[in-house]
Structure 1
Amino acid sequence: MDSHENALVGADPAIDAVVIGRNEGARLAACLASLAGQVRRVVYVDSGSTDGSVEAARAAGAEVVALDMGQPFTAARARNAGLARAMAAADPPAFVQFVDGDCMVQPGWVAAAAAFLVAHPQAAVACGRRRERFPDASVYNRLCDREWYTPVGLARACGGDALMRAAAVTAAGGYRDDLIAGEEPELCLRLGRAGWQVWRLDVEMTLHDAAMTRFGQWWRRSRRAGHAFAEGAALHGRGPERHWVAETRRALLWGVALPVAGLVLVPWSLLLWLAYPAQVLRLSRRMGAEAAFFTTLGKFPEAQGVLGYHLARLRRRRAGLIEYK
Structure 2
Amino acid sequence: MNDDLSELPEQPADTVAAADIGAVIIGRNEGERLRACLASVLPAIRVVIYVDSGSTDGSVEMARSMGAEVLRLNMDSPFTAARARNAGLQLLLALQPQTRFVQFADGDCEVVSGWVDAARAYLVSQPDCAVVCGRRRERYPDRSIYNRMCDLEWDTPTGDALSCGGDALMRTEALAQVNGYRDSLIAGEEPEMCLRLRRVGWRIHRLDQEMTLHDAAILSWRQWWRRTLRAGHAFAEGAWLHGAPPDRHWVRETRRAVLWGLLLPVAILLLALFIDPRFAMLTLLYPAQWLRLWLRSREPRIAFFTLAGKFPEAQGVLKFLTTKLLRRHGRLIEYK
- Greater alpha carbon shift after TM alignment, 109-118 vs 6-15: 6-15
Residue aligning to 1:259: 265
- Greater alpha carbon shift after TM alignment, 4-13 vs 218-227: 4-13
Normalising by the residue count of structure 1, what TM-score does the alignment of the two structures yield? 0.96
**Identity %, equivalent residues:** 62
Normalising by the residue count of structure 2, what TM-score does the alignment of the two structures yield? 0.93
1-structure distance, mates of 2:10, 2:212: 26
TM superposition shift of 1:5: 3.3
Residue aligning to 1:79: 85
Residue aligning to 1:280: 290
1-structure distance, mates of 2:22, 2:245: 33
Whether the aligned pair in 2 keeps the contact of 1:233 and 1:243 (CA below 8 Å) is yes
TM superposition shift of 1:92: 2.9
Q: 1:309 aligns with which of 314, 320, 324?
A: 320
Q: 1:155 aligns with which of 151, 156, 161?
A: 161
- Greater alpha carbon shift after TM alignment, 85-94 vs 69-78: 85-94
Residue aligning to 2:143: 137
Q: 1:305 is aligned with what amino acid?
A: G
SS at 2:135 equivalent: strand
Q: 1:278 is aligned with what amino acid?
A: A
2-structure distance, mates of 1:269, 1:147: 35
Per-residue CA deviations over 1:195-250 (Å, capped at 9, x if unaligned) read: 00001110000000111101000000000000000001100101411000000000
SS at 2:186 equivalent: coil
Q: 1:275 is aligned with what amino acid?
A: L
Aligned ranges for residues 70-219 of structure 1 at < 5 Å?
A: 70-219=76-225
SS at 2:205 equivalent: strand
Gaps (5+ residues) in structure 2? 1-7
Residue aligning to 2:304: 293
Q: Structure 1 residues 11 and 255 mapped into 2: Cα distance closer, same or farther (>3 Å)?
A: closer
Gaps (5+ residues) in structure 1? none
Q: Structure 1 residues 145 and 11 mapped into 2: Cα distance closer, same or farther (>3 Å)?
A: closer
- Greater alpha carbon shift after TM alignment, 231-240 vs 210-219: 231-240
Whether the aligned pair in 2 keeps the contact of 1:76 and 1:183 (CA below 8 Å) is yes
2-structure distance, mates of 1:295, 1:21: 28
Q: 2:44 aligns with which of 38, 45, 52?
A: 38
TM superposition shift of 1:36: 2.7
Aligned ranges for residues 2-41 of structure 1 at < 5 Å?
A: 4-6=10-12, 8-10=14-16, 14-41=20-47
Whether the aligned pair in 2 keeps the contact of 1:261 and 1:269 (CA below 8 Å) is no
TM superposition shift of 1:272: 2.0
Q: Structure 1 residues 84 and 3 mapped into 2: Cα distance closer, same or farther (>3 Å)?
A: closer
1-structure distance, mates of 2:201, 2:145: 39
Q: Structure 1 residues 133 and 317 mapped into 2: Cα distance closer, same or farther (>3 Å)?
A: same
**C-alpha RMSD of the superposition:** 1.5
